[in-house]
Homo-oligomer: A and B are copies of this chain.
Amino acid sequence: MKVKIIDLAKSLGTSTSTVSRALNDAPGVSEELRAKIVKAARDMGYMPDQGARNLVKRTTGNIGLYVPRGLFFVMSNPFFAQVLLGISDVIDDMGYNYILSTSPLQHRKMFRTNLVDGIIMFALRLGDPYIRELEEGGFPSVIVGSYNPSVDMPAVRPDDYQGMYAAVNHLAEMGHKKIALLNGPLSSFKSVACLDAYRRSLMEHELDDIYEKAVSGEFVAEWGLEGANALFNEKDRPSAIACANDLIAMGVYRAAHERGLKIPDDISVVGFGDFPSAVYLSPSLTTVHTPMREMGYEAAKVLVEKMKGTSSVEHKALFQTSLVVRESVRRYEE
């Protein structure tokens, strides 16, 4: 059977209170006795039951990661890998555990049943439920990624608008006149930022009369393949494609290859995100870098402050994005 605090107490001829205090570095126990208790705990392999501990301390020692898009979406999107990396940079040696929730139900349960001390929310979209409830409850939580800026909650997000603006500007400055946008779903705030930036850049370069084509899909390679195929099938083909996401760009790569189109000779493409794989594509992908790890780091820091209850100011951080040019765009001449 598992060894409990009372077993320890009995074997040492002391009380549970003293054992508890000793193990928690609380005052009120002599150094001599504390040492004995610690040793005995080690020897007998004692570890405090979490349920009991949570019950009395009103704190759980784990933080929730909410991604209302399903487990697969999380795991197959390098964005999370990177952001989580930053999060774990600050959280890991604080001894927290991560608990994952991908459905509104799980999410609700998390913060309503004292399952976690704080929540980091990803990939929120228009109409995702239970955000408001969280907001009102004052539960420690942070949003990471583009989301409704009017929502009254700490958030750290990338400047998606500037990123896409720089990307399309680059394409235009390289001489491209017919630039298409393979976008994400418009329920995503990132997608609307991308769309706005795309339009503005086109207008500023007086290209919108020549060609304007923005189509919405999902943030996955499958959509890039499908969307690019559709684009290629039209009589009036673009010479460059901007993608809202590196995964979409991968799909474009595939579509081009299947049709014998060379990148960047026949078609230029720029991605978004600068996922680790961007540099492994052939040709390597020109894309806009999003400081995902740094964002994760910041989000985690904000969250721990929230959990400590120290900072109750609404923290909003905006991270710069920047175009990194590699091999997938060429200068376009008539």
> Are A92 and B97 in touch, CB under 8 angstroms?
no
Chain B residues with Cβ below 8 Å from A253 are: 280, 282
User: Interface residue count for A (Cβ, 8 Å)?
Assistant: 56
Minimum CB distance partner of A327 in chain B: B257
| A71 interface residue (CB < 8 Å to B) | yes
| A50 interface residue (CB < 8 Å to B) | yes
| A103 interface residue (CB < 8 Å to B) | yes
For the complex, what is the distance from the CA of A257 to the CA of B102, rounded to whole Å? Answer: 39
| A84 interface residue (CB < 8 Å to B) | yes
**Chain A: interface secondary structure?**
helix
| A213 interface residue (CB < 8 Å to B) | no
| A49 interface residue (CB < 8 Å to B) | yes
For the complex, what is the distance from the CA of A52 to the CA of B109, rounded to whole Å? Answer: 14
Chain B residues with Cβ below 8 Å from A101 are: 97
For the complex, what is the distance from the CA of A270 to the CA of B277, rounded to whole Å? Answer: 18
> Are A49 and B114 in touch, CB under 8 angstroms?
yes
| A324 interface residue (CB < 8 Å to B) | no
> Are B97 and A97 in touch, CB under 8 angstroms?
no
> Are A98 and B100 in touch, CB under 8 angstroms?
yes
Contact with B along A71-107 (1 / 0, CB 8 A): 1100110101100110010001001011111110110
Question: Known interface pairs A51-B52, A114-B49. Does A75 touch B71 (Cβ–Cβ under 8 Å)?
Answer: no
| A149 interface residue (CB < 8 Å to B) | no
A36, chain B: closest CB distance, angstroms: 22
* Chain A to chain B: the 10 pairs with minimum beta-carbon distance, closest first: A75-B81, A51-B54, A257-B282, A51-B55, A98-B100, A76-B81, A47-B112, A50-B113, A99-B99, A71-B88
8 example contacts (A-B, Cβ-Cβ < 8 A) are as follows: A45-B112, A47-B112, A48-B113, A50-B114, A95-B105, A97-B109, A253-B282, A257-B282
